[in-house]
Chains A and B, each alone.
Chain A
Amino acid sequence: MAGLLPENAALLLIDASYLLVAFLFIMGLKAMSSPITARRGIVVAGLGMLIGTVMSFLYPGMGNFALMLAAIAVGGMLAWWSGKKVAMTDMPQMIALYNGMGGGAAAAIAAAELFRMVHAAPDSGSSHTPGVSSLAVAGAFIGSVSFSGSMIAFAKLQGLITKSVRFRGQQVFNLAIAAATLLLGAAIVVLVHPTGWQVVPFFMLALLLGVIMTLPIGGADMPVVISLYNALTGLAVGFEGFVLNNTAMIIAGVVVGSAGALLTQLMAKAMNRSLANVLFSNFGEGEVTAGEGVTGSLRSIEPSDAGIMLAFAEKVLVVPGYGMAVAQAQHKVWELCRLLIERGVNVRFAIHPVAGRMPGHMNVLLAEAGVPYDLIADLDEVNADFETADVAFVIGANDVVNPVARTDKSSPIYGMPILNADKARNTLVIKRGQGAGFSGIENHLFYLDNTRMVYGDAQKVASQLIQGVKAVG
């Protein structure tokens, strides 16, 4: 295959195809940022990937084609199979997993280059210039951290690791490991002909760094971390693109790096955290402060009465939370909402940026149930509407509707933007039991005079509500 075309013609053809690949990637990403064109976007980007992969077989002087095809088959098939069967609720950890694989691939490219430096004869002059080798080392560092860090993120979200490992002086320890890794990396560049004694420990330490950086971060903060590693993998790919003189990798890597950095910022903002705060403080789980005492009492309501309340409302805003997704209630809830819409009730879904396990996750879960995206409104669009809503219908959401975030400065969620469910005329809450929420903070909304609670499994309660609405006729 290598001899299929003269060398120059092959290189020209590959370069031209990479230009097309870069164009298709950027067009695809652009289309992906609007719900109307998003589907087309991923197909366009996929076409680019296909072209790039096929054309890369034409590189002159390559061998190992059988191994290459086997590796593509193994990696591709496992990913295809796992991607097809993963539940929508588990999407965040799947993205982390695939992202880690990309980081690992970038690190592998760097490893191949660095070991080539090790094996090059000291006087052959066939080694890299310091500029290229420092890019290789930088890519290796970032790619390795992204690889092992993403794997830990995956394990945590998948529930394989449930404890957050923390100890005194942890940050100093992490910093020391990072410094040692960078020092070894610098040594590799300076030595020009490093030995395995620098290269192997360098990779070990970089991989270790990813692990120890990610271990102390709580589950609630994981989306920001995954997004950050996504951007880092992009950067690592871009760096290795320089090393291999591969424009498709440079452009795609840098585009993803900068887009990912922006996306990370947006997500951190949506979660009311700064990036530094996510990485270096340990909120996200544990650390329960009682906050102000709650006055008032919880008032429960029969599902049949709740059904009547919904049926005779003019405007209902549904606030779904992860609790709804856990109970797999989104289909039933949508069935209920369709009934209400048929009765002429104005129904909309109000989505908090962090509803679900990552920003935008709830939209995916609702889309899976068949909810059209034009009935879904985000916090900024919908928050003023609560004042004119007859019923705010909270299903399995807790912290994102807790008014304490507006009032109680001592509360850990103080300052987080919330959905103003407490401003609606009535609030109906479906909740599994009487415990506190994910963060362990008491929700003052539940104690308000115009709030009614329905306890039980969200799916079952939704079915009862459907019966209730139907009974109204």
Chain B
Amino acid sequence: MMEGITALYIVMLAAFAGYEVIARVPVILHTPLMSGSNFVHGVVLVGAMVALGRADSLLGQVIGFLGVALGAGNAVGGYVVTERMLEMFKSTGHKPRQEQK
């Protein structure tokens, strides 16, 4: 366990960073941004990997397996849908997509 006070510094700075990064986001991007931040907490996957890696009982393995599968789902799913949404955002400068007839 790292020094408690150092950890609190990290938390404080990370909280400010998160707030500032999002502070002036236009409504147009609310949905993809929520999906994107949803993807970022998919980093829970690495913690679940550690939990599974250290498991030495059947119960631990089952819980760890569930954790890793859920974490991977969070990360992969979050990435795929965010990327799909953002890929569509184009300005008039871009060539229009093929006609939808």
Contacts and interface: CB of A to CB of B under 8 A. Distances in A.
Interface of A: 21, 25-26, 28-30, 32-36, 38-39, 41-43, 45-46, 49, 52-53, 56-57, 59, 61-65, 67-68, 70-80, 82-84, 86, 88, 91-92, 94-95, 97-99, 101-102, 104-106, 108-109, 111-113, 115-116, 119, 129, 131-132, 226-227, 230, 233-234, 237-238, 240-242, 244-260, 262-263, 266-267, 270, 331, 334-335, 338, 351, 353, 356, 358-361, 363-364, 367-370, 372-376, 378-379
Contacts of B49: 53, 56-57, 59, 62, 68
Contacts of A244: 47, 50-51
Given A99-B74, A363-B31, A373-B28, 15 more contacts: A29-B40, A46-B83, A62-B49, A64-B53, A71-B72, A76-B75, A92-B31, A98-B77, A104-B66, A230-B34, A230-B38, A241-B47, A334-B100, A364-B32, A370-B90
A220 to B, nearest CB: 16
A94 B81 contact: yes
Interface of B is mostly: helix
A359 B59 CA distance: 41
Given A237-B47, A244-B50, A262-B23, A227 B76 contact: no
Nearest to B96: A370
Contact of A361 (B31, B37, B63, B86): B31
User: Max chain B CB contacts within 10 Å: which of A56, A378, A379?
Assistant: A56
A91 B52 CA distance: 31
A370 B51 contact: no
Interface of B: 1-2, 4, 7, 10-11, 14-19, 21-57, 59-61, 63-94, 96-97, 99-100
B28 A109 contact: no
Contacts of A88: 85
Given A33-B25, A38-B89, A49-B39, A108 B14 contact: no
Contact of A257 (B15, B67, B78): B15
Contacts of A53: 45-46, 49, 75
